[in-house]
Structure 1
Amino acid sequence: MSDAMPELPVYTATCYVQPLREGGTLPAVVDTDSGGLFVAKFRGAGQGAKALVAELLVGLIARAVNLPVPELALIEVLPDFGRSEPDPEIQDLLKASVGINMGLRYLDGAFNFQAAAAGEFISPELAARIVWLDAFTTNPDRTARNPNLLIWKRKPWLIDHGAALYAQHNWPGVDAARTRTAFPLIKDHVLLAISGDLEAADAEIASALEDRVIRDAVACLPDALLQDPAIASEFADPDAARARYADYLCTRIQAPRAFVAQAIEARETLRREPPRRVQSRR
């Protein structure tokens, strides 16, 4: 891990290649001026700028502890981008997203993770580290129904973290006690049953995520996103917003970590359940 987290590159979207009609941010594959193809997430859709902040922060934290995340970048949408698109919904989305958005490197040829077909690509140790990350960042969106894991070049990649960090949707109600609560939805995690030593993962990742590392990740959030009305209405300026996100994460990681104990308990409960019988059809 480097002493300082590198700044996010900024690319200008030049061509709307293909919509990906899934997820609350209505993502799309776009070409850029000098960066190649990215899956762009637009702040004009879904939860808007807050979803993009979650995408960036969780991705940066994952990258800081060597978990596999596609390359992250900021994607600038100019006023005339996508005007030739015939779909009025897409045109409205792009008009509402003029300015800075975010993107993940497009992994050409990647396929969606399915435990029955791709479980061999995720070791118990890696599964435990991913479970830890999602419990820490309160990410409800890594279930068997919607794993948000891609397999590319025989390696798993973590995507779609816009639903994480849900405390940001109610900052006034999140005090220190609520910040450090467990995360019951971890029971539905797609990798929980195969996860290895969660206590070892906890020791390793928590020691790597020093306050400095967390604050460096938060520092990468661009003013342009933090000045979006959805966020700016709650804070005096972008630095105040960054301070709130950093304080939340630095408090949540303090020991003892209830979210780790919850994950361990949920895994043991899951493993005690009898296997489900497969009903044959006639």
Structure 2
Amino acid sequence: MKYNPPEIRTVEVTRYVTPLREGGSLPAIVEADDDFLYVLKFRGAGQGVKVLISELIVGEIARALGFQIPEIVFATLDEAFGRTEPDEEIQDLLRASEGLNLALHYLSGAITFDPVVTTLDATLASQIVWMDCLVTNVDRTARNTNMLMWKKELWLIDHGAALYFHHAWSNYEEQAKKPFAQIKDHVLLPQASELDAVDKASRAILTPERIQAILAAIPDAWLTGVESPFETAEEHRQAYATFLETRLSHSEIFVKGAQHARKALI
């Protein structure tokens, strides 16, 4: 089956509302020309466009798997923003982020998921654990769940720390075949008793064609330049495809790793 790339809108940032200082990359709440609020991830932050690429790839993988994800948009930042901001640190960040950035719809009134207050069923917990193993997401712990409850539904957010292999690109094909050791700290691992069933169902959804369609949505400009270890955007894009498709075809490795980590907990 042929899949088309996700339809991702482009908005223009019209107002910088407030910084979100929970993370080192200083994301911010902004308003765009469609009058909606977004959480903006800056290309000029410490880890550059790699965080934006992770947000886009993993967010759309999560959406394909049926999870609730805030709408992802491309957000254009005009050079004028850097001139009026009084905070020098934020001013530098704005200037370094002129052009195309990534933003996610701001879920106003959402509350942080608390595993003590809300218990997820085994299948949903297993689905989230499985996906985080696939994309090597280190950021779904009890300390920082990166899940929200909004309108009585669970939403997954903040996937910039996933796909951490792309910060070096060393032996990435071999890394794709390894278990995910950090899964031992996953906030939902104790409830994830259905990993075998979830593995089969999830792999059926994430076909090579669907992976390729998701990767096609990455702007070429984010895949070229000084940060890219590859000569062309397409070569860079296909390296992500190789990692994900290899990891999917060897999913029994990270599934068994997660199951062993779970046995050590319960």
State the TM-score bracket (shorter-chain normalisation).
over 0.9
Counterpart of 1:157, as a letter, is W
Instruction: Give me the whole-angstrom Cα distance separating, in 2, the residues matched to 1:260 and 1:35.
Output: 43
Report what 2:220 is aligned to: 223
Matches within 5 A, 1:151-166: 151-166=149-164
Describe how 1:56-71 pairs up with structure 2 within 5 A. 56-71=56-71
Task: Answer yes or no: is the 8 Å Cα contact 1:25–1:43 preserved in 2.
Answer: no
CA RMSD of aligned residues (A): 1.6
Quote the offset at 1:170 in angstroms.
1.8
Of residues 80-89 and 152-161 in structure 1, the stretch that sits farther from structure 2 once superposed is: 80-89
**How far is 1:156 from its partner?**
1.2
Contact 1:25 1:48 in 2 (8 A): no
2:201 maps to 1:204: yes
**Which stretches of structure 1, 4 residues or longer, exceed 3 Å deviation after superposition?**
none
Partner of 2:127: 129
- The offset of 1:16, in angstroms, is 0.3
Match of 2:232 among 233, 237, 244: 237
Contact 1:151 1:157 survives alignment (8 Å): yes
Tell me what 1:140 maps to: 138
> What is the TM-score normalised by the length of structure 2?
0.95
Instruction: String of CA shifts for 1:92-142, please: whole Å, max 9, x gaps.
Output: 10001011110111000001111112x24x322111100001000001110
AA at the equivalent of 1:99: G
User: Aligned with 2:190: secondary structure?
Assistant: coil
What count of residue pairs does the alignment treat as equivalent?
A: 266
Which residue of the partner structure matches residue 186 of structure 2? Answer: 189
Matched to 1:60, the amino acid is E
SS in 2 for 1:13: strand
Contact between 1:24 and 1:47, CA under 8 Å: does it hold in 2? no
Q: 2:175 aligns with which of 158, 175, 178?
A: 178
Give the partner amino acid of 2:258.
Answer: A
3-state SS of 1:215 partner? helix
Q: How does 1:27-106 map to 2 (within 5 A)?
A: 27-34=27-34, 36-106=36-106
Corresponding residue of 2:13: 13
Give the Å deviation of 1:46: 2.3
Q: Distance in 1 between matches of 2:160 and 2:6?
A: 21
CA distance in 2, matches of 1:256, 1:205: 10
Cα contact 2:177–2:250 (8 A) shared by 1 = no
Structure 2 alignment gaps of length 5 or more: none
The percentage of counterpart residues that share the same residue type is 46
Deviations 1:224-258 (A, max 9, x none): 22234212xx1112111111111111111103531
Letter in 1 for 2:32: T
